[in-house]
Amino acid sequence: MKLSDYVIDFIAKQGVAHIFEFIGGAITHLIDSIHVRDDIHCISVHHEQSGAFAAEAYARINGRLGVAMATSGPGALNMVTGIGSCYFDSVPCLFITGQVNTYEYKFERPVRQIGFQETDIVSVVKPLTKYAEMVVDSRHIRYQLEKAVYLAQNGRPGPVLLDIPMNIQRAEIEPGDLESFYGGDEFKALGNTSVCDEKLLDEVVAIMRGVERPVILVGGGVRTAGAVQDLRLFVEKTGIPVVCSLMGLDAVSHDTPLFFGMIGSYGNRFSNLTLANSDFLLIAGSRLDSRQTGTRPETFGRAAIKVHVDIDPDELNSSVKVDLPIHGDIKDFLARLNNKLTAYAKPDLSAWYRVIEEYRTKYPSSPAEAEGNTIDPNHFMEMLSRQSVKDDIISLDVGQNQMWAAQSFRLKDDQRMLTSGGMGAMGFALPAALGAAIAAPGRRAIVISGDGGIQVNIQDLETVAHHGLPVKIFVMNNSCLGMVRQFQDIYFGGRRQSTVIGYGCPDFCRVAEAYGIPSFRIKSSAEAEEIIGLALEMEGPVLVDVTLELATSVNPKLVVNRPIEDMSPHLDRDELLNEMLIELVEEKDVPK
């Protein structure tokens, strides 16, 4: 059997029906091995970064594995941002790169390059993968494929990469003679360290019985671990209110009255107040990065007994010191905790709910009514979410658009929200929607991007159009790189170099038409509702340019040296003091 045929056969057996790729000479054997099959298909993109992002979204939707391929040299390097995105956000993806023939590769020789497009991609991506290896012996292909996929999917998931030279791809192998990773010493040594200790579970239940203002902070690990239903049951059993990190937003329906928004630097003010005043905080599968805690992590949940559950022991007590760190799989933790709550008497949290409901009423993230005809982006997100339907997949880019959606797009049951969290890569939304739509035929993908982000991978409008995918693209267009412009306005005296000065964007409606995609332009809030409806109801892809004022900003926003409850625009000190059930922390100066 030809080795490239074996590789594709192996991928198909993982339940993967699509491979995202941009062809090059060093992967032609692999591409040809796909062409002759009808159970696995190429999705040909126009940039390898797009392929990597699409594979990430594919994995997040199918819950198993995404696969992307690229040729050696520039092709492999173009995937690095997408590989890093999978690594930071714990997404299981297999990346395969072609490589020059082993007899053309430099190995330890002190030269820069021998073969055309030869690049040591393995060394480049090792810090961004769970496993990266060049296959130099055709007899090891089964072992390395099995090892790579196992590591991608188990423990804390993440990306893996196999670099396969051209002479290895075309080698003839005997499948029955290939060594397996499973059953070997390396596999046995991995073991299972993700099961929670029974005594820790009992301790959590004991703590829960004695608190009055509990909160659950849901991170992306809940969705990654497949623990959404376990979380739902836990919330039903306990009645504890839920807040989310950015990556945890689609792990709970926003329609439930127990959902209290997103916390963090760009979170909802009412969400941050809720967390800040809690006396018990269960942190479920979140790494507590600085976008959640702000720049003063010692003030985060300072009055609460904090229980932190994470599959990665290195994340425990890394940024925020907690009272009970638990190394374990969040699905296992919640399932076993639920079993312990059969005789649990749900506490009376009515007084706590009165407080946090008042926060939500008093400090909404969008105005009750849009002022004049100006489009308020938070209000727009609410309109868009109202017209979305169950099963829609919402794909966010990075920048202001991401935060407006995170603050105000209310996710219905079974909706998904995909975004680039740790990497924070502009250009994510369009290819992610492409991958999601391929993974879930018949489901609609809604792209929310900015005028800056959409330009990064705008070339793959053609891929979306070519496949006739139901991708609805909303470009929040304030004709600038708004997130950094807002940063410049706060910290750099409004000097807008490269965000406004030197920056430009095309007429996106004309660009869409060039790709054969129908388009609309929304210029006022009065016409927004109708045009949103038209765009969502049309068959196939649609682009909508949403015109915003250049100075449109994300509010509220946490500035440097403030605890998360003290967001800009800042409340009067007396008002903030009146809202807090705990003591305020000492103010620190904002750095110049």
- For the chain, 592 residues long, the average pLDDT of each consecutive 10-residue run is 98 98 97 97 98 98 96 98 98 98 95 94 98 98 98 96 98 97 91 79 94 97 96 96 97 95 97 98 96 95 97 95 96 96 90 97 81 88 96 97 97 96 96 98 97 98 98 98 94 95 97 98 95 97 97 94 94 95 84 54
Rounded to an integer, what distance in angstroms lies between the CA atom of residue 94 and that of residue 159? 6
Task: Give me the pLDDT at residue 193, please.
Answer: 62
Task: Report the 10 Å Cβ neighbour count for 272.
Answer: 28
Peptide bond into 569 cis (omega under 30): yes
Q: How far from the centroid of its chain's Cα atoms is residue 583's Cα?
A: 34
Rounded to an integer, what distance in angstroms lies between the CA atom of residue 191 and that of residue 576? 50
Task: Give me the pLDDT at residue 228, please.
Answer: 97
Domains plus CATH for the chain? 3-190 (3.40.50.970), 198-362 (3.40.50.1220), 377-547 (3.40.50.970)
Task: Give me the pLDDT at residue 353, please.
Answer: 97
Task: Report the 10 Å Cβ neighbour count for 365.
Answer: 25
Peptide bond into 74 cis (omega under 30): no
Rounded to an integer, what distance in angstroms lies between the CA atom of residue 32 and that of residue 484? 44
Q: Is the pTM of this model over 0.75?
A: yes
Residue 3 in contact with residue 168, Cβ under 8 Å?
A: yes
Which string of b and e fits 458-470 if b means at least 16 CB within 10 Å? bebbbbbbebebb
What residues contact residue 420 under an 8 Å CB cut-off, 6+ apart?
A: 53, 85, 89, 398, 428, 432
Task: Give me the pLDDT at residue 344, please.
Answer: 85
Helices (H), 245-284: 269-276
Task: Give me the pLDDT at residue 367, please.
Answer: 73
Task: Report the 10 Å Cβ neighbour count for 10.
Answer: 17
Provide the strand spans (E) within 271-351. Answer: 280-284, 305-310, 324-327
Q: Between β-strands 18-22 and 519-522, what pairing exists: parallel, antiparallel or unpaired?
A: unpaired
Sign, CA dihedral 106-111-114-118, equals positive
Of 335, 241, 247, residue with least CA distance to 279? 241
